[in-house]
Amino acid sequence: MTTQYKLYPYRWVVLGLFMFINLTIQILWISYAPITGPAAKFYGVTDLQIGLFAMSFMIAFIPLSIPVSWVIDTYGFRIAVSIGAVLMGVFGVLRGLAGENYTLALWSTFGLAASQPFLLNAWTKVPANWFAIEERATAVGIVTLGNLVGTALGMVLTPVLMESMSIPDIQLAYGSIAAFSAVLFVIFARETPPTPPCPAGMEVRALMLDGLKHAFTVKPFWFGLLVSFIGLGIFNGVTTWIENIIRPRGFTPTDAGTLGALMIVGGVIGAVVIPALSDKQRKRQRFLYIALLGAIPGLIGLTFASTSILLFVSAFAMGFFLVSAMPIAMQYAAEVTHPTPEGTSNGLIQLFGQGAVVFVYIMEAMKSADGSFTPALLLAIGLLVISTLFVSQMKDPQQLTQK
């Protein structure tokens, strides 16, 4: 007996709810980056201690990623994401209530950081449960879009809101939005549609431990992990230190917010357009080349531009190409490691990407005496070139090439 399969319109509701959750966690993650200098004065701490607000998300991700992937693959994304959403809402509000107490705000941030793996590691699981295989990279791209819009909002709104609100009040507002998104997800999200979205076999996955072992036997998957490590390391490094990077060239926190937003807007467009083309042409490797090589000129401009126009154009270009690599790499990982569960392959990709927190720290450590980040940005350009060598070993998976 063959099981009927069909696509349900409600898949867009589930994806939209999941996207909203990912949007709000990103606002909470990045909201201190464009106001690093003013925030350091407010709390009476150093720039590095303010950077720790963003870095803590990456630090917490490393020990939590694999256990959270197990939860996603064992109990389903609805339960796992609901746990993360509730943690996000509670600690988001608590950070707003911390006032001028840096230590309390930081501990609340670690609570927020603990919620993030429950959200990020389900990026391929939600599309796998609700979408046909030819839609999945696009669906992951849409979740990436929500993630990026959240980052952009945190970048742009925070410096603007600081003109009329205190930092704790801003954080409380963000935390309240996060709590609202959590309530919506818990009430309206569903684990699976009434019937599968794809033919029998495409939705069946191995047990998590077996899947983990299998993933590590797939050589192209290792190269995917390295590409993710480099790509997310550069993206997180630039966003974390965005104000510090442009401060020596005479730019302001508002410029930093605009720069970050344009980088994200470029990323939003790239994360929709390029994965959709990848789905349509049923090619992954080709579009990973385009994404990584295309990001290099933008990163060069970000390193050396001394005028606002050149700086902003470079940021947009870098965001457009670099960010689009992530949903393609994640979907590639899910396909090439089949039947490893999506939560497992996704979790490993995210783990390596967040492990690149070491690069965020290295960027700060490589600062020149005058505060310039040029040496670190030149290193990032070199790493992007190296990442294209890894892509050369990432052939398209068989299920894509067989129609």
| CATH number for 158 | 1.20.1250.20
> For residues 346 and 214, is the Cβ–Cβ distance under 8 A?
no
pLDDT for 211 beyond 70: no
Residue 3 domain-assigned (yes or no): no
**Is 344 inside any structural domain?**
yes
For residue 221, is it within any domain?
yes
pLDDT of amino acid 360: 83
Q: State the pTM of this model.
A: 0.75
Of residues 217 and 299, which shows the higher confidence score? 299
Model pLDDT, residue 155: 84
Please give the residue range of the domain that contains residue 181.
10-193+202-396
CA distance 145 to 150: 9
Residue 54 is assigned to a structural domain of this protein: yes
Which region among 15-19, 30-34, 184-188 has the lowest average model confidence (pLDDT)? 30-34
| Least reliable range by pLDDT among 60-64, 193-197, 218-222, 269-273 | 193-197
Residues 309-318, mean pLDDT to the nearest whole number: 94
For residue range 322-363, list pLDDT tens digits in order.
988 888 887 888 888 877 776 677 777 777 777 777 888 888
The answer to whether position 316 is within a domain reads yes
Distance CA(245)–CA(210), nearest Å, equals 44
- Asked if residue 402 is part of any domain, the answer here is no
Q: Mean pLDDT, the chain, as a whole number?
A: 86
Is 1 domain-assigned? no
User: How many domains in the chain?
Assistant: 1
Token pair 């899947």 in the structure block, residue: 211
Q: What average pLDDT does range 313-325 have in this prediction?
A: 92
- The answer to whether 215 and 335 are in contact (CB under 8 A) is no
Euclidean distance between CA atoms 326 and 20, whole angstroms:
19
**Hey, how many other C-beta atoms are within 10 angstroms of the C-beta on 298?**
21
Model pLDDT, residue 206 = 42
Rounded CA-CA distance 62/84 in Å is: 16
Closest by CA position to 246, among listed 302, 168, 326: 302
Is 97 a residue whose pLDDT tops 90? yes
Tokens 């720069």 found at: 259
How far is Cα 150 from Cα 24, in angstroms, rounded to an integer? 6
